[in-house]
């Protein structure tokens, strides 16, 4: 697509090329890496979309295509994108507007697919992101759940952040630091140890999750060195009691997956405070502006919410998924898929 000084192109970028693009943006994230895309559903059908203003790359997006064989109709899915906030530049909504126009033209008009976008944006006062999607023919996807999380402002000093912690949270952290727990960050077997810890947590709490340590282990193998996942384990009395995976890409560090064993809850109940605090400090050391505690749901997981809210960060709600489509085969496929997922969720409940 070409319009005024803007132009766009689509195809499969090389890894070096794609990661060089991601380096230019504050809102770069794990979900827009080739490694995450390849190791996710639909990873065999990745495509990259690039928007330029003149010769300058101003926005990018990695999409996964779910297509019916032969007729090549179906869904284009963009997770935590597009990526459009250039480093060292003021946020420019015109770029987001132009990117959405270009994506609509490519995947709806030309390819006749359904386009689903899960933006890496949260609701902020004075920033009307929703209207940019709506005026570009995107609608809120009805079945999408709103994602909430807590952001820690890393522009504060370490002392200020610690002082701001809820008193009980700070006391638990102090106890963990004085109990002689050992933190391990480098180790050949870190993923297998964390897999055992997380597996025990899932069985104990009987919750369903699509995130697995094994998936992150595969993603880690293909990530560039400066994008590698941060794996922390906590050891008490020669026994691994808790673990946590995080990642620092763009201007936001992110806690991904972790947990504490039953033995850890009995003998080292404060160990996870030590892990989360050190993961937060790791994000600061990597130059991140924010640390995302990895999602909250006070209704379905009140214990986790109580723990994370103790860090006294800012609770935010991310934008829901948006969908754009034209009447046709792709739209019918998407509606049938939505119906199937709705039935599955009803049965699961």
What confidence tens digit (pLDDT) does each residue in 276-298 have?
A: 999 999 999 999 999 999 999 89
**Domain CATH number, residue 207:** 3.40.630.30
Number of domains in the chain: 2
Residues 138 and 279 in one domain: no
Residue 275 CA to residue 218 CA, distance in Å, equals 23
Residues 189 and 332 in one domain: no
Residue 266 CA to residue 246 CA, distance in Å, equals 25
Ranking 25-34, 49-58, 133-142, 143-152 by mean pLDDT, the lowest is 143-152
Residues 158 and 277 in one domain: yes
Residue 175 CA to residue 183 CA, distance in Å, equals 15
The tens digit of pLDDT for each residue in 68-111 reads 776 677 889 999 999 999 999 999 999 999 999 999 999 999 99
Position 349 scores a pLDDT of 52
Tokens of 160: 């200020």
**DSSP codes joined into one string, 263-330:** HHHHH-TTHHHHHHHHHHHHHHHTT-SEEE---B-TTT-HHHHHHHHTT--EEEEBPPPEEE--SSHH
Residues 265 and 342 in one domain: no
pLDDT above 70 as % of the chain = 88
More confident residue, 190 or 207: 190
Position 342 scores a pLDDT of 46
- Band the pLDDT of 8: cuts 50, 70, 90: very high
Residues 329 and 258 in one domain: no
| Cα–Cα nearest to 213, from 232, 236, 238, 227 | 232
Residue 86 CA to residue 72 CA, distance in Å, equals 34
Residues 86 and 218 in one domain: no
**DSSP codes joined into one string, 104-141:** HIIIIIIS--EEEEE-S-B-BTTB-HHHHHHTTT-EE-
Residues 211 and 277 in one domain: yes
Q: Averaged over 308-325, what is the pLDDT?
A: 93
pTM over 0.85, yes/no: yes
Ranking 61-70, 234-243, 311-320 by mean pLDDT, the lowest is 61-70
Residues 304 and 198 in one domain: yes
Q: Averaged over 38-52, what is the pLDDT?
A: 89
Residues 300 and 155 in one domain: yes
| Cα–Cα nearest to 342, from 160, 92, 178, 142 | 142
Position 347 scores a pLDDT of 46
Determine the structural domain holding residue 176 and report its residue range: 149-316
Is 244:271 a contact under the CB 8 Å cutoff? no
Tokens of 277: 């605090």
User: Dihedral through CA 106, CA 122, CA 223, CA 60, nearest 10?
Assistant: 30
Residue 30 CA to residue 250 CA, distance in Å, equals 9
């Amino acid at each position: 697509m070409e319009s005024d000084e803007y132009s766009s192109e689509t195809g499969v970028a090389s890894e070096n090329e794609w990661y060089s693009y991601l380096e230019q943006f504050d809102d770069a994230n794990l979900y827009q890496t080739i490694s995450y895309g390849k190791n996710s559903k639909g990873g065999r059908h990745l495509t990259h979309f690039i928007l330029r203003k003149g010769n300058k790359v101003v926005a990018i997006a990695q999409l996964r295509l779910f297509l019916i064989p032969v007729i090549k109709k179906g869904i284009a899915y963009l997770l935590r994108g597009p990526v459009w906030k250039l480093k060292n530049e003021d946020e420019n909504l015109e770029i987001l507007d132009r990117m959405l126009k270009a994506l609509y033209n490519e995947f709806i008009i030309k390819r006749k697919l359904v386009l689903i976008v899960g933006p890496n944006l949260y609701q902020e006062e004075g920033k009307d992101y929703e209207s940019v999607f709506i005026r570009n023919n995107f609608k809120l996807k009805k079945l999408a759940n709103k994602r909430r999380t807590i952001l820690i402002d890393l522009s504060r000093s370490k002392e200020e952040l610690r002082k701001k912690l809820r008193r009980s949270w700070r006391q638990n952290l102090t106890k963990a630091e004085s109990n002689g727990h050992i933190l391990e960050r480098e180790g050949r077997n870190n993923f297998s140890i964390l897999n055992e810890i997380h597996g025990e947590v899932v069985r104990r709490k009987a919750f369903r999750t699509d995130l697995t340590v094994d998936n992150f282990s595969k993603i880690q193998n293909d990530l560039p060195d400066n994008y590698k996942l941060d794996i922390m384990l906590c050891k008490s009395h020669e026994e691994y009691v808790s673990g946590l995976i995080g990642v620092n890409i763009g201007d936001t560090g992110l806690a991904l997956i972790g947990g504490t064993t039953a033995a850890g809850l009995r003998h080292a109940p404060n160990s996870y405070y030590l892990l989360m605090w050190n993961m937060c400090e790791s994000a600061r050391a990597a130059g991140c502006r924010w640390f995302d505690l990895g999602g909250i749901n006070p209704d379905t997981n009140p214990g986790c919410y109580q723990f994370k809210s103790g860090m006294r960060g800012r609770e935010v709600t991310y934008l829901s998924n948006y969908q754009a489509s034209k009447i046709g085969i792709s739209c019918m496929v998407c509606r049938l898929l939505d119906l199937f997922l709705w039935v599955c969720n009803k049965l699961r409940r």
